[in-house]
Amino acid sequence: MNSKNNMDKKAVLFDIDGTIMNCHSAGKTSLMEATESVFGTTGRMSTMNMQGKTDPLILFESLIDEGFGQKDIEAKIPSLKEEYFRLLDGRMKNHQCTIMPGIEKLVPLLAGRDDIILGLLTGNFERGAQIKIGRFDLNRYFALGVYGDDSHLRNEMPAIARQKIRESHNLDIDFSRMIIIGDTVYDIRCAKHAGAVSVAVGTGWVDRSVLLAENPDFYFDDLGDVELFLRVINEI
Ligand SMILES: [Mg+2]
């Protein structure tokens, strides 16, 4: 096979929770405990639907109506992170976690292709993302990531990914060659916001009809049919 030149490269960016894996509330429980410990309350967090939201946005939305200003919250995020990572790391060691169908085969395959830059695009804080996918020894496959540390707004993440690829690979990837894979409407919307290719997967907690109503470019119930997924990627 001819090695592809830079103009032919694509970026394939995966969400984590509900897309790569399900850590069965280990993240939510750890974030709630850390928030209680640092802020003295979890605010609205216990009843919030966290799916597709970035970690900092979850903190802002949970706490802003509880008398905390955005600046107060931002000032305590470093302490919050420290406590959250400690709790998450401890919990994930023995917690039941599930890797989604096809991921174990697909991720190394994509990482090994010279026409693909494989990355993460996730609302998790970076260290939290590493702890989660580290459970399945997947960190080594991802060349880069955009995280909740980079922005609390998911819609800003594709542009940040493009900038990071410029810096790390000296390559300007057009959004039409950036493929964003995720399990929520927010993943689809952020791809569309940038003009990237949206791939929705039904492995999270969102009903397929809800995802399909957002008109993703592609939809898969899961990525278990690796060959089918690769054919789709090859045609982009
Ligand atoms: Mg997700």
Identify whether 195 is part of a domain: yes
Domain match, 124 and 168 both: yes
Domain match, 158 and 213 both: yes
CA distance 144 to 13: 9
CA–centroid distance, 5 to ligand 1, in Å, is: 32
CA–centroid distance, 2 to ligand 1, in Å, is: 35
CA–centroid distance, 186 to ligand 1, in Å, is: 9
CA–centroid distance, 20 to ligand 1, in Å, is: 8
pLDDT for position 94: 86
User: Positive or negative, the Cα torsion across 138, 223, 128, 71?
Assistant: positive
Q: Any idea which of 15-19, 46-50, 201-205, 209-213 has the lowest mean pLDDT?
A: 46-50
Q: Which H/E stretch holds residue 105?
A: helix 103-111
pLDDT for position 2: 41
CATH number of the domain within which 117 lies: 3.40.50.1000
Residue 3 pLDDT greater than 90, yes or no: no
- Lookup: tokens for 58: 């979850």
- Domain boundaries, position 63: 26-94
CATH number of the domain within which 44 lies: 1.10.150.240
Domain match, 88 and 143 both: no
Radius of gyration over alpha carbons of the chain, in Å? 18
CA–centroid distance, 119 to ligand 1, in Å, is: 15
pLDDT per position as a tens digit, 145-158? 999 999 999 999 99
Mean pLDDT of 55-59: 96
pLDDT for position 68: 93
CA–centroid distance, 8 to ligand 1, in Å, is: 28
Distance of CA 105 to the CA centre of its chain: 19
Domain match, 113 and 227 both: yes
CA distance 229 to 222: 10
Helices (H) and strands (E) in the chain, counts: 9, 8
pLDDT per position as a tens digit, 85-127? 999 999 998 889 999 999 999 999 999 999 999 999 999 999 9
Question: Which of 4, 3, 7, 13 shows the shortest CA–CA distance to 162?
Answer: 13
CA–centroid distance, 30 to ligand 1, in Å, is: 17
pTM: 0.95
Domain match, 128 and 112 both: yes
* Burial tier of 41 (Cβ tally within 10 Å: 0-12, 13-18, 19+): middle
CA–centroid distance, 205 to ligand 1, in Å, is: 9
